[in-house]
Chains A and B, each alone.
Chain A
Amino acid sequence: MILFHKPPPGAPAGAPGAASHPHEDRIRMKKPIARIALIAAVSLAVLTACAGGEPPPSAFPGVTVDGAYAYLASNYHLYKFDLQTGAVVWKFPAAVDNANPIGPFSGVPLKYGDWIVIGGSAGMNGAYDRRVYAVSDATGVEAWRFSGGAREFVDGVISDGKIIYAPSGDGSLYALDPSQRDAAGEPRLVWKFTTGNRLWSRPLLADGVLYQASFDHKLYAIDAASGKELWRFEGATAAIGVRPALSDGVLYFGSYDSHAYAVNAADGALKWKTALGGWMWTDPAVQLGRVYVADVRGRVYALDAGSGQIAWTYDTQDTVKGQPVLDDDKLFIVSMDTNAYALDPTGSRKSPSGQVDFADARWRNDKLGRRLVSTPAIHGGDLIVPLLDSDIKMWALDKSTGDRKMQFPPPAATTEPAK
């Protein structure tokens, strides 16, 4: 690399490489070096910034409330919060170990005896953690891990109280028995059921049958004890990424083909399907003959559970990913438009044509300021709402009014001022 030019013999003054004065030559050469040094410094700063710190969230936080505590899987940590004070009791991992990276985490944490169980998730640039972790509820220290999966566990795991069912992005549903562990401390794999594509939603367990949706466009009914397939529904034309809802022997779910489906839980026969406006990626909620779903374009639908006809709609301004939550006489919706909504589940406002009702918002909290993609949890009179990308991990809202009551962690523990 040439940093200083020697003047060619006989070169005229001013020609390239001809220095009229050695000092002048040095000054001239400093400029490109300074420019290059600046570019290098900026580039290194950008690359270092990319490599260090906690990357932005790439999956959906999940919250579970159990007694006086809330457990939140959010980005690179699993948190235990005290619901009375908002304080962090512990976080897992307590410190980031670059040599043995753990996480990110997403989906709903499972309270399993004295453990909190959560799966590793998918991160930026395609990186993922393919392990399931059990963390001590008392201390936040890892108790065991399962590393038999090949890909991420995006939506968390479920359990019947004994066996843990863990759906993986590798397309397999793993049945694990933590009461029997091998020499490395890992739980015994009871069975494994493999589908044709990613499993990015938890299964529904009812009467010994697991209903598992897959990105291979199918919904599977699996015997929970043996892992054998009972039936499969193949009527969807795109991936299914939701946990179905079951009511009166009928399973309800949506697909990326922008349709909502109802199938018989006994044999998988189609009851009805209804075309909606966009990809369906919310777990449905069912109550009193109505199925509540939402699409990625932000529209909330109430469908008639018997016929699939649209009873009413409500438009938010951005994607709805979190499951609609029914409590008392309200339907709680959170949206990526940063608002939380409490709707009237019956719908009460007629369209001008009189054909479709529109739900009324009982309240709307537009002061959360962050994208909301996670299913809220109910705790007494509070609605616990996780935030996607914030130092404030969750807000507790008054269920009746939507007013903010408490932030998690409390203000003193965050650098982000409450708005």
Chain B
Amino acid sequence: MGNIFDFLVVNPMTNIMLLIYGLFGNFVVAIVLLTILIRLLTLPLNLKQMVSSIKMSALQPQMKALQEKYKNDPQTLSAEMRKLGFNPLSGCLPTLIQFPILIGLYNAITRTMAVNPMSLLELGKHVYGFLPNLSSLVPIESRFLLWDLGQPDTLFVIPILVVVTTYFSMKFTSMPSSDPQTKQTNQMMQWMMPVMFGFFMLSAPVGLGVYWIISNLIGIGQYYLLKPRLDLAKAQHAAPAPGSAAAIAAPARKAPPPKSKVKPKSTAKIAKPSADSGKK
């Protein structure tokens, strides 16, 4: 499995990174350009996932009510959820597809930096022989400004930048939720994840930190580029506050009309789950 992943994802990225490094003679430029390239390629997936998150977030109050109503009848619950437009894969599938690509990029950067003999050996095994002169680029020039890209940052500048950019990236890109629990979890994660990454960066090579910072900045930029489309999606899928009259009156606004079979009568029941629970 690892070999297939290497063959399909990590090896091409490693060689493309070396090619870019050969063209510009600067590894940071290679990281930046390859990260942009990957982000552009995964942009449609990313957009799909963000829109889907908005949609799922808007559906939360109705889904909760249905879960409460049909808690003893999973089959009906599942059918009702489908009618509502809920698709558990729609949000995570694009993420699942993107994940190996990002892991591959991370591996390609680590491998290309070849900070120790074992990683250089791995690099040597996977440099394409048919591309001329790639091997002559190894080992890459690891000096960049104040840093050695293959060493941890003793100045702590990179870990701090990782913390700051991760925080803002998470703040801007995490989807708003009407569910207080999810909201609270998101808030906690917005603090915890940057601190965790910053802690990790204390002992990781600067090159990885540079990738992380660039990736975060591109993520933030991408968010602003996609914002008009996301706002449109939000408007389309906007959900009223749970328990409000509007929620009861219009529970399935985003579901396509032919599929939406949740009648006002049933939603009225949803508002009073205790009266109906187990009676279906």
Contacts and interface: CB of A to CB of B under 8 A. Distances in A.
A390 to B, nearest CB: 15
Interface stretch (A78-86, A176-184, A277-285): A277-285
A289 interface: no
A208 B192 CA distance: 61
A39 B189 CA distance: 9
Interface string A42-63: 0100010011000001111000
A31 B181 contact: yes
A154 interface: yes
A287 interface: no
A281 B121 contact: yes
Contacts of A39: 189, 192
A119 to B, nearest CB: 13
Contact of B124 (A1, A121, A125, A278): A278
A308 B183 CA distance: 70
Contact of A256 (B115, B135, B189): B135
Contact of A2 (B116, B148, B184): B184
A124 B135 contact: no
Contact of A14 (B118, B125, B181, B243): B243
Interface residues on A, range: 35 or more
Contact of B178 (A16, A43, A258, A296): A16
Nearest to B64: A14
Interface string A5-19: 100000011111110
B97 to A, nearest CB: 23
Interface in B148-174: 148, 150-152
A125 B135 contact: no
A279 B150 contact: no
Given A43-B196, A127-B203, A32 B125 contact: no
A373 B139 contact: no
A58 B196 contact: no
A12 B129 contact: no
Nearest to B110: A125
B139 A47 contact: no
B242 A297 contact: no
Interface centre among A13, A16, A29, A47, by most chain B C-beta atoms within 10 angstroms, is A16
A417 interface: no
Contacts of A220: none
Contacts of B189: 36, 39
Nearest to A16: B180
B154 to A, nearest CB: 11
B2 interface: no
Contacts of A18: 243
B116 A1 contact: no
Contacts of A279: 124-125, 127, 135
A1 B119 contact: no
Interface of B: 113, 115-119, 121, 124-125, 127, 129, 133, 135-136, 138-139, 148, 150-152, 178-185, 187-189, 192, 196, 199-200, 203-205, 241-244, 271
